[in-house]
Amino acid sequence: MNAAGRVEAIRTAMPEDGLFAGKEWRISPDPFVLAPEEVRQLERLGQLLWKYVEACDVIFRRSRKGKDVPWVADVLTAGKPDWLIDAGMACAEERPRVLRPDLILTDDGFAMSELDSVPGGIGLVGWLNQCYAALGDRVLGGASGMVDGFASLFPDGADILVSKESGDYRPEMDWLLTQLDGGRFSVQDAENAEVASGRDVYRFFELFDWEQIPGAKELIERAAQGDVRISAPPKPWLEEKLWLGLFWTPGLRRVWDQLMRRGHWRELSRVIPYGWMVDPAPLPPQAVLPRLDAASWDEVAGFSQRERELVLKISGFDESAWGSRGVTIGHDVSGNEWKAALKEAQESFPQQPFVMQEFRKGRVVEHSYWDDATGSVKMMKGRVRLTPYFFVGREDNQVRLGGVHATICPEDKKIIHGMRDAVMVPCVEGHE
């Protein structure tokens, strides 16, 4: 089948109600090709992230109980209701079973900008995999990898609760429902859902939004009592980007070594860019911020454009903490804007902490897209964000790669995310 035929087949397969409300992207006749070694790294990454999330949970729980590094719990609980923290603590053995890192493809490998445990895109990537597999492409995860991975979380089925805040993603969840065992799953509005005792729930709403969802508090407290089971569990501390800075905090290195193999930490250190928690507490006169060689955040605020190849982002539990909102790229803004962003980060601590990371530049690739104006294939130079989806089965705790989604944005875009000018395709493995 030629390119025009492939594009028409993809368009024809689009569900009548679409997959994202009001969202468009460029269609490509071709999947994105990853080198075999890159695929091996992705497959390995799932198990590493499962261990990493376990370590984050243990660090917080120990801290909360006063057994170790109490300042960690102090920061991660600030601005959050006590009842929610207590409910999460009661769900002791539960961890997020969907893990989706956002990975920038660089000249030196992958750079992780976020780890999302309540991700959108499950239905979209499931549909993309299905479409391109039908065209003969050997997509990573297989044609049904996303659907099978999601189903493995809920052997007895589940109610998928989608909030108004997440309403743009409702169409993809409706599509996902058509692929699951219809008698065991449902999709409901989170605001008026009815969940029976003993039922599993897939939470497709953010914990910071609980006050806007009637019944959310009651549902979460039922989970704490064991009456229902929620995935991802109501553990707001695990949904903070701050862990990307805590991973590198010198005072926590001993704790990480206790909870993770040194080799696992080193592998993750190649993927997680160096980061810092933006804590405005003054440093001793002889101290500096690691790698920044600055004695205060005010000094960092005065960095030149060349020095501030840094990314500042709000950590979590706030409506500006998801998507590309709440992100400032240092060398992409004026000096005054950079100073204002760092001032906000310091003043909001600890109620709303910020994390800073070293900026990793995505490598430039060329990929095809279909141009409707000319009715032909064109090539676009762009940068790539990869979003692999890992599912951890409920019955066997095995980590499975369900699929890998590539978002390719024009090369002049600093923040890589879904947009009208982006190409969105599934990934396949290339040849040696």
Structural domains of the chain, ranges and CATH numbers in brackets: 3-241+363-429 (no CATH), 274-358 (3.30.1490)
Do 43 and 403 touch, CB atoms closer than 8 A?
no
pLDDT, position 418: 65
Cα distance between residue 169 and residue 158, in whole Å: 18
Give the bridge partners for 380, in sequence order.
367
User: Closest Cα to residue 119, out of 40, 17, 60, 49?
Assistant: 49
Amino acid identity for residue 328 in this structure: T
Amino acid 371: pLDDT = 94
For residues 139 and 133, the answer to whether their CB atoms sit within 8 Å is yes
3-state secondary structure of 385: strand
Is 395 within 8 Å of 112 (Cβ atoms)?
Answer: no
Beta-sheet strands, E only, within 117-153: none
Task: Mark residue 69 as left, alpha or beta (left: phi above 0; alpha: psi -120 to 50; beta: remaining).
Answer: left
CA–CA distance, 336 with 313 (Å, rounded to integer): 17
List, in order, residues 6 or more apart from 24 with CB less than 8 Å away: 420
Rounded Cα distance, 260 and 302, in Å: 37
Calpha distance 227→295 (Å, rounded): 51
Q: What pLDDT score does 324 carry?
A: 62
Going by C-alpha positions, the residue among 98, 129, 34, 138 that lies closest to residue 384 is 34
Helix axes 36-64, 70-77, angle to 10 degrees: 100
Cis-peptide into 422, omega within 30 deg: no
Residue 395 in contact with residue 372, Cβ under 8 Å? no
The whole-model pTM stands at 0.95
User: Residue 56, Cβ neighbours under 10 Å: how many?
Assistant: 24
Q: How many C-alpha atoms does 249 have within 13 Å on its Cβ side?
A: 21
* Per-residue model confidence as pLDDT tens for the chain (432 residues): 899 999 999 999 999 888 887 678 999 999 999 999 999 999 999 999 999 999 999 999 999 999 889 999 999 999 999 999 999 999 999 999 999 999 999 999 999 999 999 999 999 999 999 999 999 999 999 999 999 999 999 999 999 999 998 999 999 999 999 999 778 999 999 999 999 999 999 999 999 999 999 999 999 999 999 999 999 999 999 999 999 999 999 999 999 999 998 999 999 999 999 999 999 999 999 999 999 999 999 999 999 999 999 999 999 887 765 656 679 999 999 999 999 999 999 999 999 999 999 999 999 999 999 999 999 999 999 999 999 999 999 999 999 999 999 999 998 876 766 678 899 999 999 986
